Amino acid sequence: MPHTIVIFGASGDLTSRKLVPALYNLHRAGTLPPETRVVGFSRTPHSDEAWRASLRESTLRHAGQEPFDESAWEAFAESLFYQPGDIGHREDFARLAERLAEVEESHASTRVYYLATAPQFYEPVVAALGDEGLAGEENGPRRIVVEKPFGTDFQTARELNAQLHAVFHEDQVFRIDHYLGKESVQNMLALRFANTIFEPIWNRRYIDHVQITVAEEVAVGRRGAYYDTAGVLRDMFQNHLLQLLMVTAMEAPSRYNATAVRNEKVKVLESIRPLDLREVAGAGVRGQYRGYLEEPGVPSDSQTATFGAIRLEIDNWRWQGVPFYLRSGKAMSCRTTQIVIGFREPPLELFAGGGSGHREANRLVIQIQPAEGIQLHFHTKVPGDGMRLTYTDLEFSYSREFAARLPEAYEPLLLDVLEGDASLFARADEVEQSWEIIDPFVRAWASVDMPPIPVYERGDWGPLASVEWMAAQGRTWFDQCPVLT
């Protein structure tokens, strides 16, 4: 069956920087299903030709593949159509319906509605799709993709779910978190469930703690007005960091399908120990980079956190007593996303005489980006006299192993939506549970009783308070910038 992707917010950044370049790359690779059309909807009065021309320029910049394949673009651009319209005007949806029938030549077609608008437009678009009969599945499947942010707390996420469910059933809803589209995140499932060697040690008997870091070198830049209302907890923790935690901590699903995978992920969230306001204050540290207050759109007295580190405990048989440390920040030393499995120390120190004091425990480091790969750190005897040991590693690197370029996260996710596979998308209960975990931190950090937010220098690993907080728990952060080859 042919496919039609209808993008609301067609003249926005997401469309030009991510969605259309991803679709073009899929087309170029021959993996976009034949007869896939894209219909853009937004207020800017473009013609099809003008929209195609502007997308050619942006795709040239953002597709990430040199050289640009002009003939592939020409062929792809023929399936791009533009329908000007205002989300607030119902008659524009009636016109959109007519245009879709024209583009689809009145044949049955899988239709994907993509909400690439600002979040306040999600609800009116969904309501209009319902009222105009555009959600009915008499003429092929209808799906809706919802971007982040999905609400701003538990209550608003729940309301948004209710608005969606008034028009679409849950199987039609695809809540996107682009982290799940990253190759190295999907590889966590392969690492854990396609191998047997990790499972016996993937638990409280052998693991001391887990560190999940998403460090960004970039600062807030032009996004100050949005960012100041979100802060790092809403921007990164509720979605991306909790997704990384879930794929690290979940049990093996009984099958690889959306229901089984998401059931296991939700169980992890349900097992996270709830914290009251007092406990939350000690279960995290926040920070703000120096210069944040001068960013455009940021109030000069803002206490918004641009860095955060929190500790979560998972109360189940596998993880009881193994803290999960989640950390993220802007304007940090380097761009790196990594999951570090910190193993326990040996029960007996046999070679104390041969080294220099305390030895680090084994570590499995999963480099999510940008130097995608996996390293296993362990001790080795230095050749020569005595039992002198050194820390060495086994390393797997994507770039060494695979010649092909790693697809951008949106590419596999868009294909999954077209195929109706929701395994890598958040379910309604999953987003609500995520907010329930993050909300207490948001409330505590916004409280007037909090001391002034600690400041860190750009290029640091967050404020000193974060190092001290870890040290007070007898642990140290694993701060390592990736080596790019």
| Residues labelled catalytic | 240
The smaller minimum CB distance to ligand BG6, of residues 36 and 328, is found at 328
Shortest Å, Cβ 343 to ligand BG6: 27
**Cβ 367 to ligand BG6 shortest distance, Å:** 13
User: Residue 169 in contact with residue 126, Cβ under 8 Å?
Assistant: no
170-189 mask for ligand BG6 (x: CB under 6 A)? --------x-----------
CA angle 417, 421, 423 (to 5 degrees): 115
238 or 362: CB nearest ligand BG6: 238
- Residue 456, beta-bridge partner list: 289
Strand 3-8 to 110-115 pairing: parallel
Question: Can the peptide bond before residue 149 be classed as cis, meaning omega within 30 degrees of 0?
Answer: yes
Residue whose CB is less far from ligand BG6, 85 or 308: 308
Residues 187-226 that bind ligand BG6 (CB under 6 A): 216
- Closest to ligand BG6 by CB, 96 vs 115, is 115
Q: How far is the CB of 306 from ligand BG6 (least distance, A)?
A: 10
Give residues 300-319 in contact with ligand BG6 (rule: CB under 6 A): none
Q: Is the Cβ of residue 178 or residue 377 nearer to ligand BG6 in the bound state?
A: 178
Q: Does 235 bind ligand BG6 (CB under 6 A)?
A: yes
Q: Segment 100-129, which members bind ligand BG6 (CB under 6 A)?
A: none
From the CB of 444, what's the least distance to ligand BG6, in Å? 22
Report the nearest approach of ligand BG6 to the CB of residue 301 (Å).
Answer: 22
- The span from the CA of 362 to the CA of 379, in Å, is 8
Contacts of 190 (CB under 8 A, 6+ apart): none
Closest-CA residue to 50 (of 77, 89, 88):
77
Stretch 342-381: interaction string toward ligand BG6, x if CB under 6 A: ----------------------------------------
157 in Cβ contact with 435 (< 8 Å): yes
Distance CA 460, CA 462 (A): 5
- Taking the complex as a whole, the smallest distance from the CB of residue 72 to ligand BG6 amounts, in Å, to 25
Measured from the CB atom, the residue of 230 and 310 that comes closer to ligand BG6 is 230
CB of 208 or CB of 216, closer to ligand BG6: 216
Count of positions (residues) in the chain: 485
Residue type, 7: I
Place of tokens 């707390």: 153
Q: Closest separation between CB of residue 244 and ligand BG6, Å?
A: 11
Q: Please state the closest distance from residue 216 (CB atom) to ligand BG6, in A.
A: 5
Q: What is d(CA 2, CA 482) in angstroms, rounded to the nearest whole number?
A: 43
Could you tell me the two tokens for 466? 């974060």
Q: Is 408 in the site for ligand BG6 (CB under 6 A)?
A: no
Q: Which residue is nearest to ligand BG6 (CB)?
A: 235
Nearer to ligand BG6 (CB atom), residue 271 or residue 480: 480
Nearest to 28 by CA among 60, 69, 66, 56: 69
Judge contact between 51 and 80, C-beta under 8 A. yes
How many residues make contact with ligand BG6 (CB under 6 A)? 4
CB of 217 to ligand BG6, least distance (A): 10
Complex with ligand BG6: residue 36 or 338, whichever CB lies closer? 338
The footprint of ligand BG6 on residues 140-169 (CB under 6 A) is 148
User: At a CB cut-off of 8 Å and minimum separation 6, what does 436 contact?
Assistant: 154, 269, 274
Residues interacting with ligand BG6, by CB under 6 A?
Answer: 148, 178, 216, 235
